[in-house]
Every structure is written in C-alpha cells, then in structure tokens.
Amino acid sequence: MKEKPFWSPYAGGIGLGITLLLAFVFMGRGLGASGAMMRFTTWVVDVFAHDHVMANPYFAKYAEHPFSNWLVFEIIGVMIGGFLSGMLAGRNKWRTGRGPNITKHKRWLLAFIGGAIMGFGARLSRGCTSGLALTGGATLAVGGWVFMFAVFGAAFATAYFVRKQWI
Amino acid sequence: MNISSQNIGFAVLFLLGLILAFSPVDEMNVSKVADKELLLSQLHSQSNYVEPEEVADWIINKEPGLQIVDIRTGEDFAKYHIPGAVHIPLERLLDKASLEMLNSDGTIVLASNGNTKASQAWLLLKEKGYDDVYALHGGMNYWVEIFSAPKKPQAPYTDDEIFRYQFRVAAGPVMMGKQVVPQQQTTVTPRKTIKPRRRAAKKKVDEGC
Amino acid sequence: MAPFYKYGFFSEQTGLIVALILGISFGFWLERSGFGYSRKLALQFYFKDNTVLYVMFTAILVAMLGVLFFSLFGWLDITKIYINPTYIWAQLIGGLILGVGFAIGGYCPGTSVVGAVTGHIDALFFLGGAMTGMFVFGEMFPSIEDLYNWGYMGNVRLSDVLNVSSGVVAFAAVVLAIVMFKGAEWAQNRFGKEVL
C-alpha cells in the first residue's frame, strides 16, 4: 500500500487540542507522557533491585505497579492510536528516520544519546512537551510557558551542531 | 493548503481571543466557594483527613508548599508541637492577620488535640476557598502516642504493620521536635508504609507529565 | 458541571478507561500529523518544516480557548483543573536540557512512543535512552534535590504573575501564535521548504 500524505498540521492541531480539552472536561487534568515512562523505568529497576528503589526517595514515589496509573493507561492508548493511524495510512513499516548524510548506526547512537539527555531534562522540569508545554501552555501555567520557550530556544541553538544528522 | 481558509481560521481565533479579553472570565473563577455537597460527602467518607505518617513523610521530604497549622491553645502549643508548625488558635482562624499567614497555594494540614476541631477548621477553610487542606487524623494526641512511644505490633503482624512501626520509631525523635542527625531516618524510612492511600492525597504524586 | 471526574460523576477505575480513550485519540492525531517521523520533527529547527510549531500552538490555542469559554459559560470549574506547579529555575534549566536532547534525538517522549509503534527503529533507541536518562536522574536525585525544587512559585498562572485577567493573556497568546505562524511561514520560504 502506498503511504498516504499527512493531514494538514492545523487539522492535527485542532484534533489534539480537542483531545486535550476533553481531558480537562472529563478528568480535570491534561495529557502526559514522560510520567508513564518514569513509572515504567522504576518498575524495571524495582524488578532487579527492590531495596534500592525503596531507599531512593525519587524512585519510591513512582514505585506503584505501572498498570495502576492514569498516565500509563493513557500511553497504552497512545500506542494503540498511533498504530491504528499508521496502519490506516499504510505507514507502519520498519525504518530509521535520518537525513541523507548519516548512517543508520550513527543515527541510532545519536537517538540514544538525545533520549538520555531528554529523559534527564524531562524529570528535572517535571514534565515533557506533552505534560508541561502542551498542558501547562493551555492552562496558562507560568512554568509551562517558560519551559516551552526554553525547549525551543535550546533546540534551535543545538540544531546547527547536529545538522549533518538531519539535512 | 488553502491559504484563504487558513486566514479565516486565524481571524476566528483572533476574534475569540478578543472576546475573552473583554469578558469577565476571571469573575467566574474567583467564585471558589466549594460545593457544599462535595464537602459533606468528603466529611462523611473521612477523606478530609491525612494520616500522621503521611505528614511525617512530607516533613522529611521537605514537601514544597507544606504548612502545618496548629489550632490548639497557646499553652498547648508551647508544650510541644509538630516541627515547623505555625500557631493559629481556632477562634482566630478567620482573622485577617491569620488568613494572611495561610499559604493559599500550598498544602495546609490542620492539627488539633483530636479530630473534631480540626474538622471544623477544615470546613471553614474549604468554604473560604482553600483547596488543598487536610485535618490531621487523630490530632496531636495520636501524633504523640505513635511517635513518642510507638507500640510494637503483636505477634501475628503483617508486613504493613511492621513497616509502619519501623517508620514511627525512625521518624519519632524528629517528629517530637528533638534534634537528630537528619540522614539517619531518611535511609531507614520504609517508604512502603506511606504510599498515598487517599484520592485527595494522590495529588502529591505529580499529576502532570 | 465539569470536570466530571472531580465532581464524582465516575470512579477512578472508569477514569482509567477514559485515559485509554483519550490516549488513543492523542496517539492518532500525533501520527496523523507525521509526529512519528524524527526527521520531520527535527526539520522544525532548521525552519524547513513547521509542522511542530503549527500543531503544537494550534492545540494549545484550541484547548486554552475551550477551557476559558467553558468556564465563562459556567460549564467548567476552572479551579478544579490541575495547574502544573511552577518551579521556574528547575523548569527553565530542565527545558534547556530537554531542548538539546530534542535536537539531537529528534523525538520527545510522547512522539517517540508513536514512532516506536509505527516501526521507527530510531524511536526505539530514543526510548531506551530516555529511560536511561530518567534512571540516571533518579540515581542523582538526592544530590540535585535543591536544583529540582529551585524557584517554587506554587500553581501560578501567567495572569497571576502579569496581574491582568486571563482573558487578556489568552488574547496575547493568540496574537503571539498568529505572529509566530506567519513568521515561520516566511522563514520556511527563505530557508527552503522540505516536505517529508
């Protein structure tokens, strides 16, 4: 099946905005992603070193069973929704997103490094682009807006140094 | 992409924003007066209480925005109080000076001798629009009982009971206002006991991302 | 009166089903906009593809206007909505770190999940990295706790800090977004559009 084109970004934005609005109307809270990952990380560590998790105040905070948490259910939904959408548009196939001037393996390494940096930053700021920038932005929370401009500022500044990866 | 439909979209957004700028949207927000039925149901289900172990955990972890308000008499307060507590007697709770002392953004824990007065104060503050308020379950009497001389659980005890006991022993000296090297109890603290149990207390775990 | 959950219209268990449904919608729209593609996301930072900016700000505006209008009509109790607490310095520094990670890794946590389920191998590596980063943060937590709590301001909103009504702030956000949309469009034409 040929891959269908993406929908207009404004349509996507309106769809996401309505989803977020429904989250506020039904639950009184926004969406998120990194909280669920933190829970999953803690769960993995917990399997190997339970006492270690209990001794660390930060891990202990997340040491419930991962399926008991709202965000975890939401992320499972994201997986289903993303998969369905990709399937309907014929976009589900194995590939590596990269620019023409970088090898697959270098891209994997950079993805891992970037992920590690982001994971650290997301925990320090108590949220990621969905949980803090999007949700906090829509509720006009001060932290959300400060965070959003910090993210874009740092990303634009870093982009020059990794340009070989993308363009 | 159709340029004109995009501009129509921008115009609509602009107009909606303009309407909001001149609308009394914040007047709708400040009517913070809590829903009476909700308050009654919370009183009934006892979800207005917070357990002493949980408060102790917040103190140890230096929970930001935590304020403990002691509503007993000055005499009682002078004898002993929870470390870091501020003293506002119940009869002066709604004075202007007292309300200025209260931390409206953070978590307020009300401590009385027992349950009754703390619950009454809880209701008053809730009606004033303070959102994150709890009454200390069992009051100071229970607080002293469990932290100054914790009872060892009887023979067929559960894991939970023994954790609870260990936590009380470990946290006791600090909670009674004695000086102890702080590292000691942070490592001993068995976290399992103070896992938030209540819907209201769950707010402490980050709700965002 | 909304929010329904906080007014006790349904239980915590039902809330989890709501979470699943909201998540499906969230993931669907992220994928529809092409957010599973790391290169598409990263090209934003070279002004070659403005999808991230358009989608994100449109979503923020729709949700923001929705919340404020519903509250204006008396349908939604805005005081019951969770406002992210502000720790201004921690969030500023965390945002800077996260931005660096975004440009290098090409994903953010939510989009990497979408990327992973649609078969992007780099998204799987990114997810592994993100979990490693979170683990490192947890390990370091006792020594950086002060940084983590730096600049606590409570659950403040822009309207509290700027001392204007939230309607005015919302209007300013709309104007800012439109200016950014137009500016990005101009920049895209200048730096060369590249549509994936």
Confidence at residue B60, expressed as pLDDT on a 0 to 100 scale: 82
Instruction: Evaluate whether C65 touches A114 at the Cβ level (below 8 Å).
Output: no
**Which of B191-205, C1-15, C42-56 comes out lowest in average pLDDT?**
B191-205
In a domain? residue C41: yes
Q: Is it the case that residue A75 has pLDDT exceeding 90?
A: yes
Mean pLDDT computed over A38-51: 88
Q: Under an 8 A CB cutoff, do C101 and A74 touch?
A: no
In a domain? residue C7: no
Write down how long chain A is: 167
**For chain C, where are the alpha helices, taking DSSP H only?**
12-32, 38-42, 51-72, 88-105, 109-117, 121-148, 158-162, 166-191
Confidence at residue C136, expressed as pLDDT on a 0 to 100 scale: 94
**Least CA distance to A155: which residue of chain C?**
C99
Closest Cβ–Cβ partner in A34, A54, A135 for B191: A54
Distance, in Å, from the CA atom of C92 to the CA atom of C80, rounded to the nearest integer, reads 26
Read off the tokens for A46. Answer: 């917990």
Confidence at residue A142, expressed as pLDDT on a 0 to 100 scale: 95
B2 alpha-carbon distance from chain centroid = 53
Q: Which of C116, C83, C146, B49 is nearest to A83 (CA)?
A: C116
Q: Is it the case that residue B35 has pLDDT exceeding 70?
A: no
Q: Mean pLDDT over all residues of chain C?
A: 91
Domains of chain B, first to last: 47-198 (3.40.250.10)
In a domain? residue C2: no
Distance, in Å, from the CA atom of C4 to the CA atom of C76, rounded to the nearest integer, reads 9
Q: Under an 8 A CB cutoff, do C159 and B26 touch?
A: yes
ipTM: 0.94
pTM for this predicted structure: 0.74
Looking at beta carbons, which residues of chain B come within 8 Å of C85? Answer: 64-65
Distance, in Å, from the CA atom of B136 to the CA atom of B113, rounded to the nearest integer, reads 9
Alpha-carbon distance C86 to nearest alpha carbon in chain B (angstroms): 11
pLDDT tens for each residue of C127-163: 999 999 999 999 999 899 899 999 988 888 999 899 8
What pLDDT band is residue C87 in, cutting at 50, 70 and 90?
very high
pLDDT tens for each residue of C16-59: 999 999 999 999 999 999 999 999 999 999 999 999 999 999 99
Confidence at residue B192, expressed as pLDDT on a 0 to 100 scale: 42
- Does an H or E element contain B88, and which? none
Q: Under an 8 A CB cutoff, do A130 and B205 touch?
A: no
In a domain? residue C35: yes
Alpha-carbon distance C89 to nearest alpha carbon in chain B (angstroms): 15
Alpha-carbon distance A54 to nearest alpha carbon in chain C (angstroms): 12
Mutation site, A45, A76, A78, interface C, largest C CB count within 10 A: A78
What pLDDT band is residue B190 in, cutting at 50, 70 and 90?
very low
**Which of A58-62, B183-187, C99-103 comes out lowest in average pLDDT?**
B183-187
Mean pLDDT computed over A77-106: 92
Mean pLDDT computed over B65-80: 87
**Least CA distance to C166: which residue of chain B?**
B26
- What percent of chain B stands above pLDDT 70? 78
Please give the residue range of the domain that contains residue C44: 12-191
